[in-house]
Structures are given as structure tokens and as C-alpha cells.
Chains A and B, each alone.
Chain A
Amino acid sequence: MKNLLSRSRGPGLDERLDALRIAVEIGRDRLQPEAIEPVSAVLDRASERMGLGAELTVVALAGATGSGKSSLFNALTGSDLSPVGVRRPTTGVAHAAAWGETTSEALLDWLNVPRRHGASDPDLDGLVLLDLPDHDSTESGHRLEVDRLAQLVDVFVWVLDPQKYADAALHEGYLRPLASHAAVTTVVLNQTDRLTESERRRCIADVARLVEADGLRGVKVLSTSARTGEGVGELRTLIAARVREERAATERLSADLDAVSAALARYCNGAPGDISKTERDLLVEALANAAGVQVVSTAVAKAHRRDAALATGWPLTRWLRRLRPDPLARLHLRRDSGGGRTSLPAATPLQRAQVETATRRVGLQAAGRLPQPWPEVLRRRASGASEPLLDDLDRAVGQTDLGEERRPAWWSLVGALQGILLTAAAVGFLWLTVLFALEWFQIPRPPTPQIEGIPWPSFLLLGGLLAGFLLAALSGLLARAGAAARMRRAEKRLKGAVEEVADELVISPLDQELRAYATFCDAVRRMSRR
């Protein structure tokens, strides 16, 4: 089978079936069921048929009631297996004749043809010939049987007759929809014994014209008469050639694949959009807003100032700070408060709306000018992300290192300095107290050392207090600058975390979907022989 296939142009059938499999997999959840089901039916049928002997050839004689299918069937089998009559419709169920040992019972079971006959002829070894019921009589059950078997057979032999060859039921119901199956189609104008030679020739030409107009290119039109046997030999030779080639089953599938590819091409005629930097930034902005990045980074700044004040503030008033709540702890964002979850406010309807709008926009952007159902699929993907987004954003914020633990070195330096200054002030205060006590008890004081005319104890007390206060004020200014820097840093980190979440939950699913589109359309292209 392999080397037979390699004879045909283009990619091999296996590759094309692979492409079909991919297209079905991608299309299953995305296309409308009525669009994807026939496609997946082709896939199922292909693997079933290939497993039943690709070298066997199933030929169906199909046609209108009274066209003489059964007579031809009998002429080809050299028997009167299929009843022939003047009452219409004659054949109610399909008849099958199988040639040779190789034709498996399994294939006939798969075709589900109730009437089976064995035949033997070395020329036709490997042939299963079906006599189908009519497709145009008042018995609608016949039509259903024809429709079912038309999906399964390898070669169509349409039996036409001079009266009915232009019927809409045939051309609109079967030949046009099967236009892609020209390679496995033969048209026979039967009952030519009713026509004169010149009429026959004109009729054949007219049939050929109609068949061509149906879109079936290069189809052979034979003329036969089951009654006189004219042309039956030619038809038999043609069928025998098909059987010998052992290629009809794969050609049928190949035609199916062409048809499927053509049908699916309409889902591929568009240009996907591109998620631009601006759109992405807008999304991140909205998500950051919803995640409370602003709130958290402000809290980081406030916490920094609080921590700085606790470390470097004026020792006399520093304790007051402790009475104010820690803004970060209130949001449960302190490392030591444990757990990843924050108690940031739950997303408000406003934030939710912002997130939804932003994701929707990105989805629309990604859809570009794709044909349905892709815009719908992308939209669903994008808006489906909204709910988990809010949770994940919360988690991301909770796990971001805000840098609130790091204590700058100068804090301890200033802290120590504040200690020294306080000690100096205390020493000055004690000294003065002692001096005051001596004075009070009228005990003569030792001379107090002076610095630039100011007594040391006073200098120590006042200088210590003043310097401490000034140092605290200076530290406050420094802490303010530090807080601003830290806020920026935290904001940057939080935005980074938000960006990751946006990429993971919005951008990459959309990218994935766009890739699915590309893979699908690539598969659709590869499926076709052309």
C-alpha cells in the first residue's frame, strides 16, 4: 500500500490522515457540532476501512429507480442474483457480490449488506460489487440506505438512463455533493438500446456536459445496455482495472480528505490579530489596579517610614509610633504573619469590571479578523480567565517580596547615635541634678567645666536633646526618601508579579488558542492533496 501511495502526488495518505486527526482534535471543542461531526466521521471511517483491507475494492452501482442497476449487476455477475422487474421500485435492499477468497466477511459486515453472493473470476478477485436501492422513489427508506452506503463504498458507478439522466434528484442530491470524488466515479448511461446511434452519441455528450457542470472533472461516461450486453464488457474491464490497481479504497479516502479540507477551509480565511504592547500594558495596568498594587505599595512606604521611625526616631516619642497599626500587618503582608494569602480587600465590582473589560479587549485584539468560531473561542478563553485571575492576583501579591524586611545599615547607626545622644542628655541631666542638689543643700560646687562659655552639663542635656531631635528629623527625611524608593521597588516587583499572572492566565491561553488556530489551518491545508 505504501509504494502505491507514493505514486500519487503530494503528501501521503498517512500524513493526510494525521492532519485530519489533528484538525478533528482541535476542532472538536471549538467548531459547531454540525461542522465537526461529518469530519470526525470521515476519520473514523478511514481507520475502519483501512483495517478491513485497503487492497479490496468496493464498487457500488447506484442510480434512479428503473435505470437498470440490477440488470447491470446481474450482467456483471453473470447471474440473476438481483431481482429485475417492471414494478418500481424494484430493489429494496442492497445486494452484494464478492469475488475471490480474499474478500473478507468482515468488510461485508462493516458495509452491513444483508444479501451476499459469492462469485469467482480471477480478473475480479478482490471486488465487492454492490447493487444499491434507488435514491428517488417514494420509498424514502431506500434513499437512506443509499446515503449510508455512499459514505462507505470506494467506487461509484452511477447508472443513468435516457429518461432520467437530467433529474435534479441525482445531480443536486448526489453528483454535486460528491464533486470532489471524481477520481472514484464512473457514469454509465444504460438502456442505450432505446436510442438510435446518433441519439446515443448526443445523449452521451449531454450526460458528459451535465456531469462536468456538476463539478466532476474527467469522469468517464460509458454507454451500456444490460439488455443487449453492449458496453457491459467495457464496464467490466474498467472495474477489473480498478480492482487490479488495489487503490480505490485509498483514493476514496483521499477524495474524502479533499472534500473535508475544502469544507474546513472556510474556518481558515482570516488573519489573526496580534496582542500589541499597548494592549498588554493596559491589561497589566487594570490587573495591577484590581490586585491593589497601589494600596500595597503605599502600605509598604508607610511601613517603611514606621519602621524607620521606630529605629531612628527620637527615643522620647518613638514609642508613640507603636500605638499606630502597622499598615502592612493589617494587610497580612508581613513575612512573619505567615501564609501566602493576603487579606487585601476582595475584588470590588469595580475592579472586577476593570479586569473583565481589559481581558475582553485583549481577546478581541487577538481575534483580529478571524472567521467564526475563532473570535468566539478567544473571547471565551479571555473572559473565562477573569475569575481565577482575581484569586491568582491575590496570591501573587501575597508572595511577592516587598523588601519590607531589609533594614538599612544607617538605621542601626542612627539608632546607636540616638542612644548615645540620649545618654549624653541623661548624663547632662544627672549632672545638673547633682549640681542642683548641691546648691540646694548649700554645699559648695566644684567648678563646672565649660565649653565655649556653656557649662558641660547644660551642653550635654540641651545638645543631646536638640541633636537627637534634629537627627530624628533628618532620619525622617531620609526615611521618607527611602520609603519612596522602596515603594517604587515594591510597585515594580508587584507589577512584575501581576505581569506574570497576566501572561500565564490571559496572554498565554490566547497565544495557545492562536497556535491551535494555526495548527488547525495547517492541518487543513496538509489534508488536501493539492
Chain B
Amino acid sequence: MQTQTVHDAVVRLRSVLSEVAFPLDLPAAPEATAMKLELEGQIEDYLLPRLLQIDAPLLAVVGGSTGAGKSTLVNSLVGRTVSASGVLRPTTTTPVLVAHPEDMRWFEGDRILPGLARATGAPPKGSTSLHLIADADIPRGIALLDAPDVDSVVQANRRLATQLLAAGDLWLFVTTAARYADAVPWEFLRRARARSTALALVLNRVPPEALDEVPQHLGEMLNREGLEGTRVLTVAEVVLTDGRIPGSVLVDVRRWLDALAADAGARAEVVASTLEGAIASIAPRIDALVSHLEAQISAGGSLAAQARDAYAAALEEVTAGVSGGALLRSEVLARWHEFLGTGDLMRSLQLGIGRFRDRLNQLITGQPPVENEVRTEVERGIETIGLAACDKAVERTQAAWRSSQPGRSLIEDAGAPRSSSARLPAAIESEVRAWQGYVLDLVRAQGAGKRAAGRAVSFGVNAVGAALMIAVFAQTGGLTGGEVAIAGGTAALSQRLLEALFGDEAVRNLTNDARTDLLTRLSHLLESEAARFEDLASRATPDRARIAELRSAVTAVEAAR
């Protein structure tokens, strides 16, 4: 193994990993985040330091349940009280590292556990800095780290213990006759197995009557969990002298430790096997992270799709709304009908007095010219339909998002829109205006080609434009009852007028163009409304690029080992 190459690959992996997040509130997200943090922690606290200095002393982390006697064990091994022990749980909140004075230099710097402050002297209560205690009773080449418990009510302890265990070359996992079947420690043991971390179990506080049965049962459980061959060091329950276990009871543990200290080859083997195990565990863990990422991406994608679907339905509603021919109030249609039916339009077109007539009409009746009224009416109608469709789409998206946890969190925490955007009415209005301008341009352009039509159009572009708009809205039928009489008739009249001016073919093209233009404009508006939801979902969705980066970083690590 080229430690330098591996080191570089792991550094790259770490930088890729720091970009990975699981922002969507899926049930597995906390687990995934914890997994990622743990891996990052292990890289930071263990892999990189170990890869840089393969010769550093072996770090044995004493971990286990609260009340299992970790501190008592460390104190007993050292022969003096270096870590607080007692009957109140949890006892140890401060991690204590004991090493031979000459090995101490390895631990004073930021080589390992760079995130933890160092302290010396008697550990004050509640401090979470790493306390360094030099003791010549500890054989050279081994350091003991007394970690807090993995399972007490103090959450900080559990987190710190997990971090410290991840940093160890060897776990000296302490359990007791009362505890050896607890669920929480077994989760840690499984983790050690998954990473092939070197592991030795201390079965502490075994009452005399259980000395046969319990170690045997523990052995069976270890076999069942695939941890066969794990060294189990049994410590009988005795009355403590001076808060320490008498050396005679601890003889197994002591002998094991001394043997390890004496044999540099064995130590190096432990270090190497844990290191290799840790590196080998990276790929499956990254795989798991990738599958969490994929779950996030697919959940985020489906949230975005829900928004898209809701607005696609809105577009259909809008399309149906502007095609029904009933966009105009019947009064206005009736006026338009009269205007066309009496031949006013044709006459005013032909005589060129359209504008004059309009003025006169306006003066007498106080009503705006009918074609202007048609345009206002069109504006108002499209706005009403568009707003209602958008509001409904907001509701639909909200309802769809609310049906899943990540969606609910987006609504409640990320502030997903609860209504259409405030500028929507104005936006629809200006789009419709622009469309009307486009329709008039169409009419003018069409008129410019034909002499007769051109003359007609130059007199009443507005009126012809209004006729074209009505023809657009009446394009698909679907009318029932009395409306047919009005709208259908009006549309037919408008159609006939246009055909008289421009010819069938041109009219068909004109209406198609006008209609397509309107729907394009509206669909852009709806898209920008949908984007408010889609952006939110996509911001909360991990980037797919992360997966490729992770995969390539992992491949590099795998290749280097």
C-alpha cells in the first residue's frame, strides 16, 4: 500500500465529501447525515493521521456503556486514578489519553483528533478537551484513550464517544455481565466488524456464579454476529480497592496488553489491519451514501414534478378557458354581434369613417367603441382565468407536497409559496397587452400585402384585430345552449368578415399564429410560477454531480490501496 497515494486520494475524497448534504427531510436523511459526518470524522481523526505517520503508537480506545467500568479499568491498568470513576452515571465526560511519556509527543500536536483541544493536569468536570496524561506504567507503543459512554442520557457523550472510537487503531470495548446483551453496544460492535477495526472485549463485573455461563453466551453471540475469534477478556466482579480492580483479577487484560506492547510486529499488524479495514469500508459506506443521495434526488425530482404537473394542468385549464369562445361577457358579445350584424363594420371600413363614427358613438352613448370593449374584456377574461388556474396550481402543489414529509418540511421550514406571486396579475395583463399588439401587427402585416384588404385594414385595424381575437377564442367549439347562438354566431360572423378581407387560408394561418402566440406567452408565465416551487425543490435536492465525484474519488482510493 502506497500510503502517500492513499493519503492523497483520501484527502480528495474528504473534500468531495464536504460538499455532500442531504437537505430533503426524508426519514433516512438524519441517518445519512450522521453516516457522512462519521466518515468525515474518521477520515479526519484517524485515516489521515494514520496514513501520514504509520509508525505512531497504537491508540487503543476504551469504549463501552455507561457504568461498564471503563475508567476503573484504565485507572487499574495505570495504577492510579487518571480518569474519574464512581457510582454516578455517566461518570466520564472528559476523554483521557494515557501514554508513556516518550510517546506523548505523537498526541500533543494536531496529528490526530484535530478538532479537540488538549489539556493536561487533572481533568475538570464537564470539559470536553482531550486530557493527556503521561505515565511510565503504560508500555511504550500503546496509548489508552478512555472515552465517554456510548449509551447514556448525555447526548454529547455519545457523540464524542463515536468520534473517539472512530479514531482508534484498536477498540477495547468494555461491557459487563449485566449489559452484554444490550442493543446499543452491539451496534458499535457491528460497526467495528464492518470496518474490520481490531477489537478486544472486556467482560467486566462478572459475578462468580456467572463466570462460566456469561462468557460462553457472549462467545455465542459474537459468533452469531460474525465476530468469532474476538478476544474476550473476562474480569470477575470484585470489591474495588481504592476504586481500582486488584491486579490479580486483571491479569488477563494486563497480559494481553503487555504482549501487544512487547511485540512491535503484532502492533504494526493491528495498525495495518485496522487501517486497511477502514479504507476498505470506505467504498461500501460511500455506496450507502450514494444510495441516500439517489433517494434524495429522486424525492426532490418528484417534488419538482408535482409542481410541474400542477402547472401543466393549469396550462390546460387556461387553454380550455381561452378556447371556449366564452371569454367575453354576453353583453359585450351581443354588442359586437350587433356591430357586425348591422354591417356597421363593413360600412365603416368601406367608407373610411370608422374613427369618426366611433367618436360620435362615444359622444352620444358614453360607451367606448365596441372593439375597445372587446379588447378590455379579453384582457380581463384572460387575467381572471389565468389567476384562477395559477391559484389552483398553488393549491394542488401544496396539497401534493403536504402528502410527503420532505414536501411538508419544504412548506413549513423553507417557506414554499402559499399563493401565486404578487406580480402575476400585472404580468398577465402586460402579456395580454403585448399579445394584442402582436395581433394588430399581424393584421397590419396581412393587410399590407393586399390592396383592398390593406385599405380596409388601414381604416379599422382595431376592429379587425378584435374580430381576429374573437375568432381565436372561438376556434374550438364546445359551446352549449344559448351561448352558441351568441358566441358561435359572433365567431362565425367574425370569421366571415376576416375571410372576406384576407381569404380562408390566410385567416386560418392568422388565427393559428395568434393563438399559438397567446398560449406561448401564457405558458411562459405559468412556467415562471411553477419555477418558484421547482427552484425550491431543486435547491433542496443534492446535485447529481456529487454522485459522480464521490464515485471517482472512491475509485481513486480503491485503486491506491
Contact = CB atoms under 8 A, between A and B. Distances in A.
Interface of A: 64-67, 85-89, 136-140, 143, 161-169, 171-172, 195, 199, 202-203, 206, 210, 292, 294-295, 298, 330-331, 343-346, 348-354, 356-357, 360, 372, 376, 379, 383
B180 interface: yes
A158 B269 CA distance: 47
A354 B399 CA distance: 22
B500 to A, nearest CB: 28
Contacts of B262: none
A349 B317 CA distance: 8
A294 B181 contact: no
Contacts of B67: 162-166
B402 A376 contact: yes
Given A137-B181, A353-B384, A353-B389, A167 B483 contact: no
30 contacts: A64-B182, A65-B182, A66-B177, A86-B213, A88-B179, A163-B65, A163-B68, A163-B89, A164-B67, A164-B89, A165-B89, A166-B89, A166-B90, A167-B66, A167-B151, A167-B184, A169-B183, A202-B87, A292-B330, A294-B331, A343-B481, A344-B481, A346-B483, A348-B324, A349-B324, A350-B326, A353-B385, A360-B388, A360-B391, A376-B402
B209 interface: yes
B387 interface: yes
Given A86-B210, A164-B66, A348-B326, 12 more contacts: A87-B217, A88-B217, A164-B65, A164-B179, A168-B155, A202-B88, A206-B89, A344-B482, A345-B326, A350-B381, A352-B388, A357-B384
Given A86-B177, A350-B321, A169 B326 contact: no
B523 interface: no
A66 B181 CA distance: 9
B392 interface: yes
B483 A345 contact: yes
A139 B180 CA distance: 12
Interface of B: 65-68, 87-90, 151-155, 158, 176-184, 186, 205, 207, 209-210, 213-214, 217, 221, 317, 320-322, 324, 326-327, 329-331, 381, 384-385, 387-389, 391-392, 395, 398-399, 402, 412, 479-483, 486
A174 B377 CA distance: 66
B88 A203 contact: yes
A235 B324 CA distance: 81
A88 B388 contact: no
A136 B324 CA distance: 67
B151 A169 contact: yes
B183 A137 contact: yes
Contact of A206 (B88, B214, B395, B480): B88
A357 B388 contact: yes
Given A163-B178, A166-B153, A168-B153, A87 B213 contact: yes
B320 to A, nearest CB: 6
A353 B207 contact: no
A136 B184 contact: yes
B395 A383 contact: yes
A330 B484 CA distance: 13
B183 A331 contact: no
Contacts of B483: 345-346, 348
Nearest to B403: A32
Contacts of A164: 65-67, 89, 178-179
Contact of B152 (A64, A66, A166): A166
A306 B447 CA distance: 43
Which residue among B179, B214, B399 has the maximum number of chain A CB atoms within 10 Å of its CB? B179
A178 B412 CA distance: 28
A66 B153 CA distance: 19
Contacts of A294: 329, 331
Contacts of B210: 86
Contacts of B317: 349
B481 A346 contact: yes
Contacts of B176: 163
B186 A379 contact: no
Q: Which 10 A-B pairs have the closest CB atoms?
A: A348-B326, A66-B178, A166-B89, A353-B388, A349-B321, A86-B210, A88-B181, A163-B67, A345-B483, A137-B181
A89 B90 contact: no
A260 B444 CA distance: 72
Contact of A376 (B151, B399, B481): B399
Given A202-B87, A350-B384, A168 B183 contact: no
B209 A346 contact: no
Contacts of B389: 353
A354 B384 contact: yes
B71 to A, nearest CB: 13
A117 to B, nearest CB: 25
